Structure 1
Amino acid sequence: MSTALQDKVALVTGGSRGIGAAIALRLAADGADVAFTYQSNHDRAAGVVEKIKDSGRRAVAIVADSADPVAVRAAVEQAVGALGRLDVLVNNAGVGILKPFTDAGVDEFDRTMAVNVRAAFVAAQAAVPHMSAGGRIVNIGSNVADRTVFPGFSMYATSKAALVGLTKALGRELGPRAITVNLVQPGATDTDLNPADGPDAPAQVALTALGRYASPAEVAAMVAYLAGPEAAYVTGAALTVDGGFNV
């Protein structure tokens, strides 16, 4: 078990399943105490908490809708209150509403931007006052920010492209405080929302240089690197983990 994050505290938004759960578990395995948010699945959240505690670290599950900025700020304060500090923020919570551009509603666009972009902005704004030098913010984007191959991704790709600008700007602004801000852009990853054995998988695999999906743990490994001491000189970067889909 790694000690790269020994006695650090991390908050992962959307941490009860998929990539978010893998991130929460990896940060705990590296020595961090972990708080994470989730929206409704109490059983899954309890399962992640149990696994983190089994690894010897403290865990807190916080109910929060990332579309609600008040709830996002409250989640940061609750994490700090429960675990005593905050060193790492991972903005992972996201929503993907996929439909033809001509059929997309303004309310759907607004929710996509609220969850995928505004929540990351608000969470970072709430977290930074609690962070000292060496703090880490990692945003989870998508490789579709750079290459949108399939139709129906107009809202999702717009939101993930916005995270590129947010990451660069925050990296510049928080650099003097020795707080790094980086972006991880996964490609096709085997989760409930996009399973490797699902009907859409063959088309995605065919365009991937490595010819397979990522596991959530492979994405979490990049997050763990950026959260750890070896990435102290990396900031404002967008790191793509997509098996060569975008090459």
Structure 2
Amino acid sequence: MRPLLPLALIIPAVVAGCASQQTLDEAQASAARELDSVKQHVARLSDAQQAMDARLGKLESGQARLASRLDSLSPQQGVLDALRVDTAALRAQLDAANANIARAQEGADDAVKIARDSRLVSGKLADSLLLTESMVSYAYEQPELTAGGRTALDGLIAGIKPKLPNVFVEIVGYSDNLGLDSQNRRIALERAEAVRRYLHETGGIPLDRMSTISYGDLQPVASNVTAEGRGQNRRIWVRVLR
């Protein structure tokens, strides 16, 4: 028969065994809890990934629809660009038409002015004088009469003064077609005004018995293709009406 261990030795061993088992159980429980927490975190990450995938799919689908819409709009954009070009061309034509209307209105106003100023005469041509390019200096912005032009006008003045106030002097300026229409009209008018000033300041003809008008390049007497023709078109016609 085996000899029995002393009770004092058995009790501490049992107690130690129980303590070790309890520690192991607690560790296993803690590990299980950690594992559950990790599993829950992984599940949340998986859900978030699925949500991101779904959102990315929607974005890709939206991009595809947008690209398709842009492709369908390309022909319409071409039509819109063509309309813009047509609109610009029409606007240019409208501006040109307005400029022509303004020129016509200026001509009409000049005609009315001449008719008003010459109301005391019957309109019959009593005398006339054509001042050519050689008689009027055509320096830019400074139209002046040459010696030949002044001599010709002095002879005209001698015939006009005895007939005042029963005559009316109409001074018409013309130009070539170089430059803008408005510029040509202005230059021709300035040359006509130079003649009017001379008739008034030198010849003493009253200003209210004279008028000036410019036709610019509208009534050429020669071709503007050649320098000679352009020189003939730059002229001033002085008409004495009675």
TM-score, normalising length from structure 1? Answer: 0.27
Return the structure number with greater helix share: 2
TM-score when scaled to structure 2? 0.27
